[in-house]
């Protein structure tokens, strides 16, 4: 009899443990610091290793993320080009001084429509193009160098739809006219375009050739990230190489860029600039006086095509902003092997979200403040 009771107790305990493991969940408490400006929606990045500590039995293909009112939220497992999961990404909007709670539970997640996309475009002379639900961009590859269309910096494609349009536009080839969802009218030429980066020697931008290799690191549904590699070129008598990593999140007007320059002489600084090409007609420029790393440009109106706002945000507080005949520039120093981190991007007035220079400059400053006041995350 006692043996039977002991066996029953062990069986009940085993069932309880199994049930607890099956129903295991964790809560994520996210708090935003109080800030004077409006805090923008952002992508919350939680290290996957921290989730595993609290939820060791979690299966990457069998969990859901729920809001405090039990609504299922889209998420992304970020790999950063590696074989193992690095982070859990969730789109959030936590107002300054507020707290939100999310829950991770077992279960098959709902199918999510991606809000980001990008790819190598061999059919258009090695373009690399990417987009989200707000805006689109492209960079130029080696094949374009042998044509009279050659250009260097970041190109902007103006969108007024939250749908992904790159494949559609490239397939039609008719993307220089607006058929209801936007167009490409931004002119780059041999400039930094909408926020590219290059060495700056003796008051001159030293451009490399167009990119040579591309690699997609993550492909949605919340973040698209990729890497472009450039061949070595001569910078003031010194051979220099650069690799640029771009990431664009759903809902954002700006890319995060990490540009890593490598050259001989680890203790030697390389002056570099992040730039915005100016137009001949008068546009509106944000103030140089604040010295907070934010530089905005509201272009002159381009006839019926509308107006583009271009902006850059430097994360190095020692950067300095200035104007030349052709560019608005932010200068900083690069160290060999250490990434220069900055943000660059654009907004189109016809998209309806940001309609004038004041709104664009406000967006850029709010974006910078959101970066400077990171969310705190506690996993229970």
Q: Where do the DSSP E strands lie in 6-154?
A: 25-31, 42-47, 63-66, 72-73, 75-78, 87-92, 99-106, 116-121, 127-132, 136-139
pLDDT at 7 over 50: no
Burial class (CB in 10 A: 0-12, 13-18, 19+), 75: buried
pLDDT of residue 22: 45
* More confident site: 34 or 82: 82
pLDDT at 161 over 50: yes
pLDDT at 38 over 90: no
C-alpha 241/C-alpha 263 separation (Å) is: 7
pTM of the model: 0.92
pLDDT of residue 4: 44
pLDDT at 26 over 50: yes
The domains found in the chain, sorted by start residue, are 23-111 (2.60.40.1180), 116-372 (2.70.98)
pLDDT > 70 in the chain, percent = 93
pLDDT of residue 358: 97
**Quick one: which of 298, 359, 297, 364 has its CA closest to 328?**
297
pLDDT of residue 290: 67
Instruction: Say how far residue 182 (Cα) sits from the centre of its chain.
Output: 21
pLDDT of residue 12: 39
pLDDT tens-digit map of 141-152: 999 999 999 999
C-alpha 274/C-alpha 196 separation (Å) is: 6
Residue with tokens 């016809």: 350
**Mean pLDDT score of the chain:** 92
pLDDT tens-digit map of 228-241: 999 999 999 999 99
5 phi and psi angles, rounded to 5 deg: -65, -40
Q: What does the DSSP assignment read for 3-45?
A: HHHHHHHHHHHHHHHHHHHHT-EEEEEEE----SSPPPPEEEE
CA distances (Å), 34 to each of 38, 210, 346, in order? 10, 43, 27
Q: Are strands 238-249 and 223-235 parallel, antiparallel or unpaired?
A: antiparallel
pLDDT at 3 over 60: no
Mean pLDDT, rounded, for 341-354: 98
Mean pLDDT, rounded, for 312-323: 92
Q: How confident is the model at residue 158 (pLDDT cuts 50, 70, 90)?
A: very high
C-alpha 255/C-alpha 257 separation (Å) is: 6
pLDDT at 301 over 60: yes
Among the ranges given (19-28, 47-56, 348-357), the one the predictor scored with the smallest mean pLDDT = 19-28
């Amino acid at each position: 009899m006692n043996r039977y009771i002991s066996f029953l107790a062990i069986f009940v305990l085993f069932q309880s443990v199994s049930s607890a493991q099956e129903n295991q969940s964790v809560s994520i408490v996210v708090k935003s610091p109080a800030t004077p400006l409006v805090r923008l929606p952002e992508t919350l990045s939680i290290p996957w290793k921290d989730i595993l500590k609290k939820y060791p039995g979690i299966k990457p293909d069998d969990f859901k993320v729920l809001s405090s009112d039990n609504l299922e939220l889209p998420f992304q497992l970020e790999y950063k080009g590696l074989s193992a999961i690095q982070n859990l990404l969730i789109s959030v909007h936590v107002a300054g001084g507020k707290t939100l709670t999310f829950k991770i539970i077992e279960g098959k997640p709902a199918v999510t429509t991606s809000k980001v996309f990008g790819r190598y475009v061999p059919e258009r002379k090695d373009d690399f193009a990417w987009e989200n639900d707000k805006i689109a961009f492209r960079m130029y590859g080696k094949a374009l160098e042998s044509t009279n269309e050659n250009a260097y910096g970041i190109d902007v494609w103006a969108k007024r739809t939250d749908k992904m349009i790159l494949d559609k536009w490239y397939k039609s080839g008719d993307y220089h006219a607006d058929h209801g969802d936007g167009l490409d009218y931004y002119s780059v030429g041999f400039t930094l375009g909408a926020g590219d980066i290059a060495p700056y020697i003796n008051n001159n931008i030293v451009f490399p050739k167009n990119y040579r290799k591309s690699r997609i690191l993550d492909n949605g549904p919340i973040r698209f990230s990729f890497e472009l590699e450039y061949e070595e070129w001569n910078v003031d008598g010194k051979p220099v190489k650069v690799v640029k990593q771009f990431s664009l999140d759903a809902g954002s007007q700006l890319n995060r860029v990490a540009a890593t320059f490598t050259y001989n002489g680890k203790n030697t600084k390389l002056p570099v600039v992040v730039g915005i090409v100016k137009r001949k007609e008068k546009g509106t420029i944000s103030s140089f006086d604040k010295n907070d790393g934010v530089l905005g440009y509201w272009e002159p109106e381009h006839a019926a095509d509308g107006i583009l706002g271009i902006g850059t945000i430097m994360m190095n507080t020692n950067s300095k902003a200035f104007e030349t005949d052709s560019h608005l520039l932010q200068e900083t120093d690069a160290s060999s092997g250490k990434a220069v981190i900055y943000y660059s991007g654009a907004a189109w007035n016809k998209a309806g979200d940001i309609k004038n220079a004041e709104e664009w400059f406000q967006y850029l400053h709010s974006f910078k403040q959101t970066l400077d006041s990171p969310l705190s995350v506690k996993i229970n």
